[in-house]
Chain A
Amino acid sequence: MSERVRFFQTGSFAVGNRLLPLDARTVQSDPSRSNSLTSGHRACRGCGEALGARYVLDAAMRATGGRLVTVNATGCLEVFSTPYPETSWRVPWLHSLFGNAPAVASGVATALKARGRTDIRVLGQGGDGGTVDIGFGCLSGMFERGDDVLFVCYDNQGYMNTGVQRSGATPPAARTSTTQAVGPEPGNVFGQGKSAPLIAMAHEIPYVATATIADLHDLESKVERAMGFHGARYLHVLVPCPLGWGGDAAQTVRIARLAVESGLFPVFEAERGEVTAVSPIRHRVPVEEYLRPQARFRHLFEPERRADVIDRLQAGADRNIERFGLLRAEERFGPPLGEGS
């Protein structure tokens, strides 16, 4: 978790900040950033995943001094970036299958080790489907063996590439094309789904963290921190999908922020199975504020407001807040997260 710098207008919340020393600014603020995922890709307008991937990879490129190779699961990220004859990647990149990216990454890491090329670091990445569902066996195997891989899940809470079907990361009540907003309990079922980060922690791997595209300093510092460890590491990044969530493209980052500020998406980091820091909620909002701008939750507000369902979602957020101490993070983890002055 990044230490928040002393008060400087936007402190360390904005991407840059001319008032900060260069090394305290984000990688993204650097005009010579690597743009690991470059322009011309075919992601939807305002795609959070495209943004998240560049954020993560550019940070990893900086952390590794450019000694990085990547492995990518099937999914939007892969499809929109590499339609023959053009690729948007500027880093070494390998796509094999939907469900095997963690294992392929293990193979790459193992090969590099066997070849004595431990200067090169490996980053695997995939969507939530590729990570928490179909790739989960491989992911767990990679964790359990402790292969030297940082695996990054870009969580857009559904199988977007195939047309927005439900995944194990789809939140309750969300409408997808396989959990339609029809019937007495419209949208995705309550009581299902899993927390991949918590399961990752149960493997007691060196480092697990969650992040979003709404807090770049935090995200980058986590990538950098992850790269400071060897062995299996996991980063779970929330990346809203304007298409699948039915949000205005311009609101992609804002919606990610509301997910955090409502408590629905806890942002934390853990080492060897123990939570070591959480990002406190800065301006708490009711879940409704997060749900409303998204068409996938429209049935909670039209034709009439479904207070019962909204309350259940709020209860989930409250539980996160309680469980991770999102409102009193400083009590648990000391002061450095906030603004000093």
Chain B
Amino acid sequence: MKAPFAITLRVGSSLANKTGAWRTERPVYVDRLPPCNDACPAGENVQRWLYHAESGEYETAWRELMRDNPFPAVMGRVCYHPCQTACNRGKLDEEVGINAVERFLGDEAIRRGWTVSVTAPPTGKRVLVVGAGPSGLAAAYHLRLLGHEVTVRDAAPRAGGMMRYGIPAYRLARDVLDAEVDRIAAMGVTIELSSPVPDAAAALRDFDAVFLAVGAQLSRRTEIPAGDSARILDALGVLRDVSEGEPPLLGRRVVVYGGGNTAMDVARTARRLGATDAVVVYRRTRERMPAQPFEVAEAEQEGVRMRWLSTIAAADGGTVTVERMRLDETGFPRPTGEYEELAADSVVLAIGQDVDRSVVATLPRVSVADGVVQVGADMMTGQPGVFAGGDMVPSPRTVTAAVGHGKQAARYIDGWLRGEPYAPPPRHPLATFERLNTWYYSDAPATVRPTLDAARRVSTFAEVVGGLDEGSALFEARRCMSCGNCFECDNCFGVCPDNAVVKLGPGERYAIDLDFCKGCGICVTECPCGAIDLVPEET
């Protein structure tokens, strides 16, 4: 029988009505730069590797990480994680424990023996890297990946730079360092140890390009009136000796002079070497200390004492004289003329490091300012073909920054060698907190990393901070809000009142069906991570 005219209709026929014509604005999928990525000195795509880790695909996550940084396990231990400081989740509850997940991935890679292979065809170009610290090794790694032949020369008997001779083992276990350095060597990078390169100019003759990464290895000295019997050491020397298994005799009472991380490391090392009394003398206040707050805290947990607002006026056998300071209006410490004596078997100076610039002495076009070598945005010194990075150039002087320089330099060197200058891809605009719709994220406090009992710490160089177990690492990864980058939550697909969002399938993301999208913008508002913009329709 025929259905009644007009009042009974065939289902779904409204598809003929293209409501897209109503639109004055349209949603557009975008990728924004997550603040973590933005803040990572090594340029890691943190959000991206967390994304893989979230689904338990650790190897994929690790490989994503390795595109930018060949030291995940080291990073997960020593990086000061500015990514976390920038993390948007910090504004919600607590920042994502990016660094802990990174360590988990790095350790997992070592445990499972994941390796990286070079697939780029050989370029026939030879590059010399001077210095096997993090910067040099990172550059070598990236250059090798790009198909170049790489030789790394280092004056020291072992590779790693400050990672080996500076950072104590209780923060960075040496087998971890070895594993990550070995993995680079296994890619076909030639590492020549105990091979100082005195003159970059000479090296340039044998190689197509040179990357200098000699670090800042000279301990700064200060004039302290000292008697003959005073035992005054420099921090780098102490740490190097400890690393080489020849710990110096520091005595039971050790005074460390300085307020940076090196000072903390030395003081904590002194405790482990048997000092009952390790005192850090620093001329400003805690707030103004350059050391990372966590390091100060851990040092205090281990019994290190702090003497703020003090300078060492003189040292003699068994005692140091400290002068009390006060901060003037500008925050600068001023002497007060009040003195005090401290018992001290030794004084360790940890007041900074300088760059040994002799390697560029024969290259007049290389300019030096403020004690460091100047480079352009392309990491090249004034001498064509000679690039530099890490602690020897203007830098925050961290392992991560050094690694980042290595990567950047490798890309520019590659471009330079190919005669096609490298142009970094444009950076997306920042994924700000305001763009997020945080209601969608589960309430989840950060995971606490296990730490070694303080009582045990002073007797061992075992790592103080442990790694996360898989469950916790997964949890932590999943706290990531994927700022500015679609994580396929299906919200846009779900919330459109007009069914105008098309789901393209796993990993393929979504598309807007402009035939029906009215441009209401709900998908834009309800995207948890702010990965959709609403832009005016061109009329």
> Is residue A250 contacting chain B, with contact meaning CB distance below 8 A?
yes
Residue pairs across A and B with Cβ atoms less than 8 A apart, 12 shown, are A7-B478, A8-B442, A9-B487, A18-B55, A19-B55, A40-B14, A40-B516, A54-B499, A82-B9, A86-B16, A250-B534, A252-B522
Question: B494 near A46 (CB under 8 angstroms)?
Answer: no
| A8 interface neighbour in B22, B478, B503, B522, Cβ under 8 Å | B478
A14 at interface (Cβ–Cβ under 8 A)? yes
Residue numbers in A under 8 Å from B525 (CB-CB): 250-251, 253-254
Measured between beta carbons, the chain B residues less than 8 angstroms from A248 are: 521
A56 CA / B519 CA spacing, docked (Å): 23
Complex interface: chain A residues within 8 A of B528 (CB):
10, 14
Given known contacts A42-B19, A87-B12, A9 and B442 CB-to-CB distance under 8 angstroms: yes
A83-100 vs B, Cβ < 8 Å mask (1 yes, 0 no): 011111111010000000
Complex contact A29–B12 (CB within 8 A): no
In the complex, chain A residues whose CB is within 8 Å of the CB of B10: 87
Most chain B CB within 10 A, of A18, A45, A47, is at A45
**Contact: B516 with A39, CB < 8 Å?**
yes
Q: Whole-angstrom distance from the CB of B39 to the nearest CB of chain A?
A: 21
Residues on B with C-beta less than 8 A from A42 are 17, 19
Q: Are A88 and B497 in contact (CB under 8 A)?
A: no
Q: Does B249 contact A (CB under 8 A)?
A: no
B520 contact set on A, CB distance < 8 A:
45-46, 242, 249-250, 252
Binary flags per residue of B4-39, CB closer than 8 Å to A gives 1, else 0: 001101111111111100100000000000000000
User: Within the complex, which residue of B12, B481, B494 is in contact with A28, where a contact is CB–CB below 8 Å?
Assistant: B494
Shortest Cβ gap from A52 to chain B (Å): 9
- Measured between alpha carbons, how far is A54 from B518 in the docked complex, in Å? 17
Report whether A17 and B489 are in contact in the complex, using a CB–CB cutoff of 8 Å: yes
Q: Which residues of B contact A29 (CB under 8 A)?
A: 490, 493-494, 503
Beta-carbon contact of B11 and A87 below 8 Å = yes
Q: Given A9-B487, A18-B506, A19-B478, A86 and B522 touching (CB < 8 A)? A: no
In Å, the complex CA distance between A86 and B516 comes to 15
- By beta carbon, the residue of chain A nearest B516 is A39
A15 touches B499 (CB 8 A): no
Q: What residues of B have a CB within 8 angstroms of the CB of A338 in the complex?
A: 443
Is the beta-carbon distance between B522 and A250 smaller than 8 angstroms? yes
* Residue A48, interface by CB 8 Å: yes
> Contacts A39-B15, A42-B19 given; 20 further ones with Cβ under 8 A?
A7-B478, A8-B478, A9-B489, A14-B489, A16-B491, A19-B54, A28-B490, A39-B500, A40-B14, A40-B17, A45-B520, A46-B518, A46-B520, A51-B496, A51-B522, A54-B497, A81-B14, A249-B522, A252-B522, A339-B444
Q: Which 10 A-B pairs have the closest CB atoms?
A: A16-B490, A250-B521, A15-B494, A40-B14, A46-B520, A11-B442, A28-B494, A40-B17, A14-B489, A29-B490
The complex places the Cα of A113 from the Cα of B480 at a distance, in Å, of: 52
Asked if A323 is an interface residue, CB under 8 A from chain B, the answer is no
CA distance A13 to B9 in the complex (A): 37
B206 sits at the interface (CB 8 A): no
Indicate if the CB atoms of A38 and B15 lie closer than 8 Å. Answer: yes
Residue of A nearest to B481 (CB): A9
A47 to B, closest residue via Cβ = B497
Query: Is there a chain B Cβ closer than 8 Å to A282's Cβ?
Result: yes
Of the candidates A7, A10, A48, A216, the one whose C-beta lies within 8 Å of that of B497 is: A48
Whether the pair B521, A46 counts as a contact (CB closer than 8 A) is yes
Complex contacts, B11 vs chain A, CB 8 Å: 87, 89-91, 93
Residues of B near A93 (CB, < 8 A) are: 11
Q: Which residues A306-335 have CB closer than 8 A to chain B?
A: none
Taking CB atoms, residues of chain B closer than 8 Å to A339 are 442-444
- The answer to whether A45 and B22 have CB atoms under 8 Å apart is yes
| Contact indicator A41/B14 (Cβ below 8 Å) | yes
A115 located at the interface, meaning its Cβ lies under 8 Å from any Cβ of chain B in the complex: no
Q: Does B495 contact A (CB under 8 A)?
A: yes
Q: In the complex the two chains form, is B522's CB within 8 Å of A13's CB?
A: no
B295 within 8 A of partner (CB): no
Q: Per-residue CB proximity of A237-275 to B under 8 Å, as 1/0?
A: 000001000001111111001000000000000000000
Q: B283 CB to closest chain A CB, in angstroms? A: 45
Closest to A49 in B: B497
B534–chain A nearest beta-carbon distance, Å = 7
Residues of chain B within 8 A (CB-CB) of A28 are 490, 493-494
A29 to B444, CA, bound (A): 24
- Among B12, B16, B481, B494, max chain A CB count under 10 A is at B494
> Does A176 touch B at the CB level, under 8 Å?
no
Cβ < 8 Å to B, chain A residues 122-147: none
Contact of A14 among B16, B440, B522, B524 (CB under 8 A): B440
**Which residues of A have CB within 8 Å of B437?**
254
Residues in A with CB closer than 8 Å to B488 are: 16, 18
Expressed in whole angstroms, the Cα–Cα distance for A102 and B363 within the complex equals 91
Q: From residue A276, how far is it (CB to closest CB) to chain B in Å? A: 23
Once A249-B521, A282-B439 are accepted as A-B contacts, the answer to whether A87 and B495 lie under 8 Å apart by CB is no
On chain A, the residues within 8 Å of B18 by CB distance are 40
Q: Quick one: given A8-B478, A19-B55, are A50 and B497 in contact (CB under 8 Å)?
A: yes
Most chain A beta-carbon contacts within 10 A, residue among B442, B475, B488: B442
- Pick the contact of B9: A51, A84, A257 (CB < 8 A): A84
Minimum Cβ distance to chain A for residue B74 (Å): 27
Q: How far is the CA of A43 from the CA of B157 in the complex (A)?
A: 75
Query: Chain A residues near B6 (CB, 8 Å)?
Result: 84-85
Q: Across the interface, do A31 and B503 meet the contact criterion of CB distance under 8 Å? A: yes
Flag whether B414 is at the interface (Cβ < 8 A).
no
Q: How far apart are the CA atoms of A82 and B10 in the complex, in Å? A: 10
Which residue in B16, B54, B481 is a CB contact (below 8 Å) of A40? B16
Chain B residues with Cβ below 8 Å from A26 are 490, 494
How far apart sit A192 and B526, CA to CA, in the bound complex (Å)?
Answer: 33
Interface 0/1 of B483-514, CB less than 8 Å to A: 00001111101111111100101100000010
Question: Which residue of chain A lies nearest to B442 when distances are taken between CB atoms in the complex?
Answer: A11
Contact of A86 among B17, B480, B515 (CB under 8 A): B17
The interface residues of chain B lying within 8 Å CB-to-CB of A82 are 9
Chain A residues within 8 Å of B416, by CB: none
B142 beta carbon closer than 8 Å to chain A: no
Q: How far is the CA of A72 from the CA of B442 in the complex (A)?
A: 36
Q: Which residues of chain B from 436 to 474 have a CB within 8 Å of any chain A CB?
A: 437, 439-444
**Is B479 engaged at the interface, CB distance under 8 Å to the other chain?**
yes
A-contact bits for B54-65, CB 8 A (1 contact / 0 none): 110000000000
Which A residue's beta carbon lies closest to that of B56?
A19
Contact A17 B490 (CB under 8 A): yes
Do B442 and A10 touch across chains, with their CB atoms under 8 A apart?
A: yes
Given A18-B488, A46-B521, A283-B439, A39 and B9 touching (CB < 8 A)?
A: no
A residues in contact with B444, CB < 8 Å? 7, 339, 341
- Give B334 Cβ to nearest chain A Cβ, in Å: 49
Contact of A45 among B494, B495, B513, B519 (CB under 8 A): B519
- Most chain B beta carbons < 10 A, residue from A51, A216, A283: A51
